[in-house]
Structure 1
Amino acid sequence: MECLLLCFERKHQSIARISKTHVLPKFFRILVYFAWIVSPFNVYTWFSTLSLPEDEKFDYIMENAPELLQDFIALPNFDIYRKTTSFTLFFTVIILIGILLNVLFVLCSYDIFQLMAGIKLQISPKRYQKHQEAVISIMVQFGTSIICFVPPFFLAIIIIAHIGEAQSK
């Protein structure tokens, strides 16, 4: 999804340069690219700190579900996450960033179409059609990729809200 947003930003800037409107400074674009590259690693690192350490996992199971201890011992890999402030904060930040990125995408889409309306007479119809097809293609790809994020989004809300038996204790 970040790559699609990056493609969308590049298309926005190519159209912005033609119309000489809303062109972002180079240092700002480099800062945004750096954030795009670093953010998945930050998310992974933060999420990996949320699970219980290896030595506490079996103690937790003994406290909360001793009848399942043998089943967990048989598993080669598993993680246990407690609902802590950091855990809730992580998912809240992820949800808010997702909402912010979608809002930015919608605003950027609107701006692209406004810019394209302004450059329609400045460039050839063939070149205009290529820009339009590229924008629509990126938008369709982005729209379909959002579908992949719907289940995790609802899972995060269920975990934060502590609905039903989504997470015990």
Structure 2
Amino acid sequence: MIMFTEEQLMTFSYTVDFGEPEWLKIYYHGISIVSTIISFFSMYVILFQSGKMDGYRYYLFYMQFAGWMMDLHLSTLMQFIPLFPVFGGYCTGVLTQFFGIDDSFQTTYTAFTICLVASALNSCFVRKHQAISKISSKYLLNDIPYIIVIFLLNFYPVVAATLLYLSMLSKDNQVILVKEVYPNLVDNFAHLSNYVVFDSNYWAIIFFAFIFFGCTYTLILIVTTTYSMFRTLEDNRKHISSSNYAKHRATLRSLLAQFATCFLIVGPASIFSLLVVIRYEHSQVATHWIIVALTLHSSANAIVMIITYPPYRNFVMLWKPNRSFRFSTTQRSGDMNTRIHTERSFAVTMTSSRS
């Protein structure tokens, strides 16, 4: 059971605002539109402007789609209003207003979508590692082990969501928890049609341990595969064409840049965990900004992907796929032909004058 001092219990009625922040509601609507536009554009670019890229494009598409799902759920379907320092909150989105979906289920699905983004990222690194490993056949997984690895990576969100759902209290137990732990807020909670509050029970501890394991595993996977991929490229640089070498390095750098945007998820989650422990007085406002950071992820990831991968960047800048490359090639060819023609004319002239 979560425990507080008597002084903390007496001040909860003054530090917790049960109203819906107007600015947060406006932000939810705005970021939902922006995220959808940017995400759909990035998915179009991946599918139709990737040139001769192999099946890796579908893994990139998967990552963008997972990020959009997370943003859509947080900003439109759920619209969570946190009540910190109370460990809980309530939902005001489409799922609540039109479908009456329980807040506990919506919170569970939030964990699923966040973990799905991490799983999609891991899948991209594994798939890219497979493509580069084919150069030397070193560390290359066979079909069955590869399928098993991808399956386990993408089964992680299901396990995480299940553990979180098992840690949820029943509605009756949530009412009891509010009366025992937040006695000054009983009347406030009574005016809410639906809400969710959490307790630090056995399943909750397992859930957080599993999340910590997933974060650690993701970091190890990305570091080891990245080192292996760069090492393979450098060791086999003489055996592959310069264009393939440049393509692999550009793709890998772009993927690492997209990994950096995951700090918009990891950072807020870490701050959230810290707030749970220290019970910061103004933690409700802080959790509002944590949600803002989370909903920026898919847009930031899409923009970073387009900026850091040359074919996508050229398409956006010129609005024509690979036009700059074709133009440059044609221009260089034309210049070369002109120079050759000029040199030949000059040679003929010199020969005639000597005669």
State the TM-score, normalizing by the size of structure 2: 0.44
The code of the aligned residue for 1:82 comes to D
Q: 1:73 to 1:98 in 2, by over 3 A?
A: same
Distance in 1 between the 2:233 and 2:272 partners? 38
Deviation at 1:7, TM superposition (A): 1.5
Question: Displacement, 1:105?
Answer: 0.6
1:14 Cα shift? 0.8
In the aligned structure 2, how far is the partner of 1:164 from the partner of 1:58?
Answer: 21
- Give the letter for the 2:169 counterpart: L
Extract structure 1 runs of 4+ deviating beyond 6 A. Answer: none
State the distance in 1 between where 2:132 and 2:176 align: 59
Contact 2:134–2:140, Cα closer than 8 Å, also in 1 = yes
User: Match of 1:129?
Assistant: 246
Letter in 1 for 2:185: L
**C-alpha distance in 2 between matches for 1:77 and 1:115:** 54
| Structure 2 residue corresponding to 1:6, chosen from 101, 123, 129 | 123
Residue number in structure 2 paired with 1:141: 258
Structure 2 letter corresponding to 1:8: F
1:90 — aligned with what?
A: 207
The superposition leaves residues 3-46 of structure 1 with CA deviations (integer Å, 9 ceiling, x where unpaired) of: 12211211111110111111012221111111122221221121
How do residues 43-122 of structure 1 correspond to structure 2 at under 5 angstroms? 43-122=160-239
Q: Give the Cα–Cα distance (whole angstroms) in 2 for the partners of residues 39 and 63 of structure 1.
A: 35
Structure 1: stretches of 5+ with no match in the other structure: none
Residue identity over aligned pairs, in percent, reads 26
Match of 2:183, as an amino acid?
A: P
User: Computing the radius of gyration over CA atoms, which structure comes out larger, 1 or 2?
Assistant: 2
Q: How many residues align?
A: 164
2:269 maps to a residue whose letter is P
- How far apart, in 2, do the equivalents of 1:103 and 1:6 lie? 14
2:156 matched to which residue of 1?
Answer: 39
Q: Is the 8 A contact 2:166 2:203 kept in 1?
A: no
2:132–2:233 CA contact under 8 A, matched in 1: yes
2: CA distance, partners of 1:136 / 1:52: 44
For 1:163, the equivalent position in structure 2 comes to: 278
CA RMSD, aligned part only? 1.8
Contact map agreement 1:50 1:86 (CA 8 A) in 2: yes
d(CA) in 2 for partners of 1:78, 1:70: 13
User: Structure 1, residues 62-82: CA drift from partner, whole Å, max 9, x if none?
Assistant: 222232112112223321211
Q: Which residue of 2 aligns with 1:26?
A: 143
How far apart are the structure 1 equivalents of 2:265 and 2:179? 36
Partners of 2:164 and 2:190 lie apart in 1 by: 23
Q: TM-score, length-normalised on structure 1?
A: 0.87
Question: In the alignment, is the contact (CA less than 8 A) between 1:19 and 1:115 conserved in 2?
Answer: yes
- The one-letter amino acid of 2:157's match is P
1:62–1:69 Cα contact (<8 Å) kept:
yes
* Aligned-pair CA distance for 1:157: 5.2
- Counterpart of 1:28 in structure 2: which amino acid? P
The Cα shift of 1:158 comes to 5.3
Shift of 1:153: 2.6
When residues 41 and 66 of structure 1 are mapped into structure 2, their CA distance, relative to the original with a 3 A threshold, is same
**Conserved in 1, the CA contact under 8 Å of 2:167 and 2:202?**
no
Q: Is the 8 A contact 1:91 1:156 kept in 2?
A: no
